[in-house]
Chain A
Amino acid sequence: MQNDFAHEVANQRQTDPDLAVSARELTKRFGRFTAVDGISFDVRRGEIFGFLGANGAGKTTAIRMFCGLLPPTAGEAQVAGYDVRTQPRMIKQTIGYMSQKFSLYEDLTVAQNIEFYGGIYGLTRPQIEHKTGLLLDELNLRDRRDTLTQSLPLGWKQRLALSVSLLHDPSIIFLDEPTGGVDPISRRNFWRIIYEIADSGKTVFVTTHYMDEAEYCGRLSIMYQGRIIEIGTPGGLKEKYGLDTMQDIFVHLVGGDTRKEAKQ
């Protein structure tokens, strides 16, 4: 089944302008350990594409290769039509990225964080001022403008981090486990924003190990030990396996041994 799917994508043209992300036999090895093992898939523009997998399945390593943070060991990948190997800078200007670790400056105020990240993407001062105003209104943080980021609740920090990663208006946004450690209500709110982002025409590439989040994705791939073992829409996969939830599908595919690693 994995081979069928690999053939299918391999036959498509790689420079399709409709493709946001495309990977062909993309591989990353650290010494003798293979973190990502020949993954191939395409993501169309405007999709919400999910990477589902247990911790250590290779999701973060894959996403880092797409963001130009890690050079691949073998295989190819294009992001927004740019090659990850040769054009990482073009990719970086085009994409947004939010890591699983909260990565705003805790000792900077909300406004200072926005100003800094706007600045390193080359935004002008008036552009930054304008964006800051919009963003604070959107997040309802206007009166927290000069609060230190460390004093915000985690849910807000993550929404702020997401907004900051969108400052330069990227066409593709990579979210690496964006909702880790956040309560279910904040998570649902977060996903509402993800839908808004996708509605505005941006591609959302999201990794998660939450099964309920997998249900929200337009299409998703299940990663296990560095390989993509299944790919499709949540509805399509349920039909294919005759199962009711993503949880059941995941357990069916990966087996009971990793059950405890994948959270409800």
Chain B
Amino acid sequence: MREVNVKDISDAVRDIAIEANCVLGDHEIEYFKKMAEKEESPTGREIFEMMLENARIAREERIPICQDTGMAVVFLEIGQDVHLVGGDLTDAVNDGVRRGYEEGYLRKSILKDSINRVNTGDNTPAFIHVKIVPGEKVKVTVAPKGGGSENMSRFRALKPAEGIEGVKDFVVQAVAEAGGNPCPPVVVGVGLGGPFEKVALRAKEALLIPLGQRNADPFYAAVEEELLERINKTGVGPQGLGGRVTALDVHIVQGPCHIATLPVAVNLNCHATRHGERII
């Protein structure tokens, strides 16, 4: 049994929230440049240039890449041999979000409820997903998620007879219909299988997968590649103004489901694919 103080988790959340919002990683930048070369539309190419220039300014001046610094979606993988000390875990995560969003000059975008729409003022609460895993470490991942791309999320309970072709059509249609709204070129997260609540979480987890990394299962890896190709034929292009690069990548997270079901969820990330992690 190893003791981990929740204060360390809180500090990690604070630091990652600021870093992820202001710094697009080297891998993402390189990948981005590679995709920019595929763009044929003059407007699209100029948009790519502006996005790269924007990333440079944000990194150098430590200001957010995008003003929508998002909901703080926090994934915690907690080793089962860890004993958390120092207070309430949820409070600690929220305190990290509160400090990160205040001290990092990040926008506070969270409302107390969806109808009365009063801002909580400090971007809390975080949206926390906890997984208990073997070991004695804690992995903290913060994935700030913007509202514009989140609004383009889709879920459908397909009939099992619709199979993988039904899934592909649904995913391509979701991205095509989203058009310029989610700030393309987007990253496409696809969740397959599970009960209703799980398929959406899988789609979100898919957005954490590094750009360019293929599914470990060759079948799904081929589906990812086909989806990327089909999505980039829709013509939506950078910012929806027409072009060859509508998506940067497509990731699928698949899993078990009921004999009667074929659930699919699509979660989109804008071109600023922001997330960061720390292992404690």
Determine if chain A interacts with chain B: no
Chain B residues close to A by CB (< 8 Å): none
Chain A residues close to B by CB (< 8 Å): none
